[in-house]
């Protein structure tokens, strides 16, 4: 039993650094889910859409979306690249909307949706 504790602690610590982000398919891009090793400063199931829900009113949302993907790619070391995962995408959005004003979230999602995200 004691021999398993150290490997389990190592795996648990390493799991803190596993992150993913999901980009939906659109006419101008292939969608997909990327699992990578990165600092734990983003949600486990991240998406550019979820990250851009909290930007101030009047700030361009497309710049936030593109910047979010660029940061996710630059900050992490890719482990796995998968096809688009709708479940991951929905989960990231649900996590991002927790504790936020529903009307503001819906308005921002409508704005983001106009860009195919």
Per-residue pLDDT tens for 51-99? 888 888 888 888 888 888 888 888 889 999 999 888 888 888 888 888 8
Q: Which of 8-12, 39-43, 68-72 has the lowest mean pLDDT?
A: 39-43
pLDDT at 83: 92
Q: Domain limits at 67? A: 2-113
pLDDT at 4: 85
Number of domains in the chain: 1
Helices of type H across 24-101:
48-51, 61-75, 86-97
Is the pTM value of this prediction over 0.85? no
Distance CA 65, CA 112 (A): 8
pLDDT over 80 at 32, yes or no: yes
Class of residue 71 by CB neighbours under 10 A (exposed 0-12, middle 13-18, buried 19+)? middle
Identify whether the C-beta of residue 52 lies closer than 8 Å to the C-beta of residue 65: yes
């Amino acid at each position: 039993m004691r021999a398993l504790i150290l490997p389990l602690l190592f795996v648990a610590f390493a799991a803190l650094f596993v992150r993913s982000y999901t980009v939906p398919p659109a006419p101008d891009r292939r969608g997909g889910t990327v699992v990578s090793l990165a600092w734990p400063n983003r949600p486990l199931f991240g998406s550019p859409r979820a990250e851009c829900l909290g930007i101030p009113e009047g700030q361009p949302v497309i710049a936030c979306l593109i910047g979010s993907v660029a940061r996710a790619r630059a900050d992490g070391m890719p482990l796995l690249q998968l096809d688009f995962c709708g479940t991951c995408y929905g989960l990231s959005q649900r996590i991002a909307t927790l504790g936020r004003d529903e009307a503001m979230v819906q308005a921002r999602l409508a704005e983001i949706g106009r860009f195919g995200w």
